[in-house]
């Protein structure tokens, strides 16, 4: 891939997830690195000023908790890890709040577990919260909820969490800031012949063979988790950059099109990946029938499906399920992700969004199916 193509990948990214690791955040365990965190926050503020949406995924709670508790080595017992996370999370959140505020940005702490993203309802709730924060101009700072995780639900590393968040919010790019320059063909600390990988395809099996084990005693990841995270992020169309976290103005230079670190390019476009998944969905839990006006809006004008255009609801589907959208004669004209469960859809059928709160007790999305989550039938 040419440098020009690489510049387009990052330069055109509008929604970016930035992940930083424990060794960077805590200066190799010596305590929260105020200068480094301040520098990332300054760069993120510049990205936001440039009309980009940024979500931060930050490690460091356990490492900071270890320092505060006087522990020299990472504990193995889960309750000790949870205790360290609880202690360290206080300082981590406070540091980001302070540094983001200094750069004119509001912040929000979001703690997630694997269970939050495995459950469809909680997945959608987390997505809605993050997108609302972005709309409000507030920067979400995400970490794994280490105070409650156990071996069954923990992500295992924040590289994976970063990729899952990129999938969750349909980010254009995932930037993993680490203590390495990027990916080498072998561990450069062990093999002098190792060469740097500037660009490659995310998901290429050869990349996994290049990556070694965990590179830090503080974190749980390593280059292999970053390679796998890039592969996961690519599933929803997000390309990944692995770069040295202390590279001057790395984030700013990346979005300006400069080639920094290792770029792992997603082979599927973001919208194409999501809509292909919807189109290929075999099990539909229900459907809605729409009037002629809605058919025109959907088919000819590319609009979202509003409940006021629905005439009937069939099946027992939940929020987030793929449903069919049928014309009056029963023909499937489209399918998409439902913003409301069947029981709710029946209540708001033929109703305007101004009536939702009275009928449901709350008001969520104005659309039954948003156009970004809708695929017309062939």
Nearest in space to 341 (alpha carbons), one of 311, 308, 318, 361: 318
Range in 85-89, 106-110, 148-152, 179-183 the model is least confident about: 148-152
Which phi and psi angles does 190 have, rounded to 5°? -115, -30
Asked if 246 and 40 count as a contact pair (C-beta separation under 8 A), the reply is no
Q: In the predicted model, is pLDDT for residue 213 greater than 80?
A: no
| 176 within 8 A of 229, measured Cβ to Cβ | yes
- The pLDDT assigned to 156 comes to 58
Query: Structure tokens of 178?
Result: 């680490």
Q: What is the Cα–Cα distance from 347 to 340, expressed in whole angstroms?
A: 10
How many other CB atoms are found less than 10 A from the CB of residue 325?
26
Mean pLDDT of 150-173: 80
- Residue 185 is predicted with a pLDDT of 87
Summarize the confidence of residues 242-247 as an average pLDDT.
Answer: 94
- Once rounded to an integer, what is the mean pLDDT over residues 255-262? 93
Token pair 């793929």 is found at 322
Q: Are 221 and 158 in contact (CB under 8 A)?
A: yes
For 269-313, how does the pLDDT look when each residue is reduced to its tens digit (9 = 90+)?
766 666 766 776 667 889 999 999 999 999 999 999 999 999 999
> Cβ distance 125 to 117 under 8 Å?
no
Least confident of 39-53, 88-102, 148-162: 148-162
* Closest by Cα among 247, 249, 327, 321 to 285: 321
Beta partners for residue 263, in sequence order: 199, 241
Q: Is the pLDDT of residue 215 over 50?
A: no
Q: What is the mean pLDDT of residues 254-282?
A: 81
Work out the mean pLDDT of the chain and round it to a whole number. Answer: 88
The CATH code of domain 275-376 reads 2.30.130.10
Angle at CA of residue 32, ends 145 and 109, nearest 5°? 35
Q: If we measure between CA atoms, which residue out of 20, 61, 16 comes closest to residue 37?
A: 20
C-alpha to C-alpha distance for 117 and 123, rounded to whole angstroms? 5
Q: Is 58 in contact with 96 (CB distance < 8 Å)? A: yes
Give me the half-sphere count of Cα atoms (radius 13 Å) on the Cβ side of residue 198. 10
Is the predicted pLDDT of residue 151 greater than 80, yes or no?
Answer: no
Q: What is the rounded average pLDDT of the residues 41-52?
A: 97
pLDDT per residue over 335-372, tens digit each?
Answer: 999 999 999 999 999 999 999 999 999 888 899 999 98
Q: Are 90 and 83 in contact (CB under 8 A)?
A: no
* Separation of alpha carbons 166 and 56, rounded Å: 11
Nearest to 153 by CA among 181, 113, 213, 93: 113
What is the 8-class DSSP label of residue 354? G
| C-alpha pair distances (Å), 211 with each of 177, 194, 219, 225, 251 | 16, 11, 16, 9, 24
Report how far residue 7's alpha carbon sits from residue 239's, in angstroms, rounded to the nearest whole number.
Answer: 12
3-state SS, residue 1? coil
* CATH number among 3.30.70.3340, 3.40.1160.10, 3.40.50.300, 3.40.50.150, domain 3-268: 3.40.1160.10
Any idea which of 6-15, 52-61, 320-329, 349-358 has the lowest mean pLDDT? 6-15
Question: So what's the pLDDT on residue 278?
Answer: 79
326 or 79: which leads in pLDDT: 326
Domain range list for the chain: 3-268, 275-376
């Amino acid at each position: 891939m040419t440098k020009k193509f690489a510049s387009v990948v990052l330069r055109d990214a509008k929604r970016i997830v930035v992940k930083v690791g424990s060794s960077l955040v805590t200066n190799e365990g010596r305590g929260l690195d105020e200068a480094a965190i301040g520098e990332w926050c300054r760069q993120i503020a510049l990205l936001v000023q440039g009309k980009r949406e940024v979500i931060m995924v930050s490690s460091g709670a356990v490492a900071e908790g270890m320092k505060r508790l006087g522990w020299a080595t990472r504990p193995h017992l889960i309750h000790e890890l949870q205790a360290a996370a609880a202690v360290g999370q206080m300082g981590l959140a406070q540091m980001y709040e302070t540094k983001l505020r200094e750069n004119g940005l509001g912040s929000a702490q979001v703690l997630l577990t694997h269970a939050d993203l495995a459950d469809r309802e909680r997945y959608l709730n987390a997505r809605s919260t993050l997108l609302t924060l972005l709309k409000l101009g507030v920067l979400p700072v995400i970490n794994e909820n280490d105070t409650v995780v156990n071996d069954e639900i923990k992500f295992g590393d924040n590289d994976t969490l970063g990729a899952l968040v990129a999938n969750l919010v349909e980010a254009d790019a995932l930037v993993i800031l680490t203590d390495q320059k990027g990916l080498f063909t072998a561990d450069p600390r062990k093999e002098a012949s190792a060469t740097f990988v500037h660009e490659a395809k995310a998901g290429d099996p050869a990349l996994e063979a290049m990556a070694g084990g965990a590179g830090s005693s503080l974190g749980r990841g390593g280059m292999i988790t970053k390679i796998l995270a890039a592969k996961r992020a690519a599933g929803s169309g997000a390309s990944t950059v692995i770069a040295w976290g202390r590279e001057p103005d790395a984030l700013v230079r990346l979005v300006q099109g400069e080639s920094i670190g290792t770029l792992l390019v997603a082979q599927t476009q973001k919208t194409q990946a999501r809509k292909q998944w919807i189109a290929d969905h075999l099990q539909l839990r229900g459907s809605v029938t729409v009037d002629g006006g809605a058919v025109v809006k959907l088919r000819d004008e590319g609009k979202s499906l509003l409940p006021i255009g629905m005439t009937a609801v069939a099946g027992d589907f939940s929020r987030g399920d793929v449903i069919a959208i049928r014309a009056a004669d029963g023909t499937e004209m489209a399918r998409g992700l439902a913003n409301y469960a069947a029981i709710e859809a029946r209540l708001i059928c033929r109703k305007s969004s101004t009536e939702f709160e009275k009928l449901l007790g709350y008001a969520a999305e104005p659309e039954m199916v948003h156009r970004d989550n809708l695929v017309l039938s062939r």
